[in-house]
Amino acid sequence: MNVSNNRKISSKIPAGIFTAAIIFPLGWLTIQSLAKNWRFPALVPPEMNFRAWNYLFDWSAGVFPALINSLAIAAVVTCTAIISAFPAARAIALHDFKGKNFFLFVLLLPILSPAIATAMGGHAFFLRLGLTDSYLGVILTHLIPTVPYCVLTLTGSFSRFDTNLELQAQTLGANSWQVFRFVTLPAMLPGIITSAVFAFLISWSQYLTTLLVGGGRIITLPLILIGFQRSSDETVTAALTLIFIAPTLVFLALTARLRREV
């Protein structure tokens, strides 16, 4: 009985530490966003108000347009990355072809190379194509790091996929779309959800590539956040950080629920 209780307690300790590691920073940021004239060594804010939140909720602050831009770009990048990575991952996992290892090496170069090198190279390339200072250019440059992660994730899922299920469905009279809809897609859904999480988070947090390719005209939330951080207004920065984190937490919660259902 004591051994069983000890095991339950020991299993709860890592979960408690993980929960505390998430809740404590969020709690601190919440207090910081409401604090007024909070300076060291004071342990609690002497006064609290909603100055930062009132400012950020004002449309003229530019936070909401940047939030909409970030959500729209991340959503398009996520969908495009998964659609692009799906056939590539299937070919890598299920087929042997000449130059496969070289293809994998080239595919991984954007995530193996320093971020600044990828950003500068992409900026020079898009500048020649006339895609800078545009949403299309920003979306394409976000796809450079997201597609490799999606391919790697989906490759792992395809490596455990039994293609005989597709053959059996075809034998029973299913066409190509029905095979994909009722056989391949359900089997690959957990991998797709995981890939979507990676793609969304990578695109959502892009700063340098957005700044270079967007040319300061495509304003996303990371650009606004860095700007406030450099202004040394800790209260507004804390409130904006919470806004920046919120969609990520919602997205992760939804994907975790979807994975449990599938």
pLDDT at 5 over 60: no
Per-residue model confidence (pLDDT) at position 95 = 85
Q: How far apart are CA 152 and CA 111, in angstroms?
A: 11
Per-residue model confidence (pLDDT) at position 1 = 47
| The dihedral sign for the CA sequence 60, 64, 70, 75 | negative
pLDDT band at 7 (very low <50, low <70, confident <90, very high): low
pLDDT digits (tens, 9 = 90+) for 46-81: 677 788 888 888 887 788 889 999 999 999 999 999
pLDDT band at 192 (very low <50, low <70, confident <90, very high): very high
- Hey, where are the domains in the chain? 2-49, 62-261
Per-residue model confidence (pLDDT) at position 10 = 55
Average pLDDT estimate for 189-199? 89
Q: Which of 103-107, 202-206, 216-220 has the lowest mean pLDDT?
A: 103-107
The two beta strands, 35-36 and 47-48, are: antiparallel
CATH class entry, domain 62-261: mainly alpha
Average pLDDT estimate for 75-95? 92
- Give the rounded distance of the alpha carbon of 64 from its chain centre: 19
pLDDT at 84 over 90: yes
Length of the chain (residues): 262
More confident residue, 36 or 86: 86
Under 8 Å between Cβ of 46 and 56 = no
Q: Which amino acid is at 72?
A: A
| The dihedral sign for the CA sequence 23, 29, 33, 36 | positive
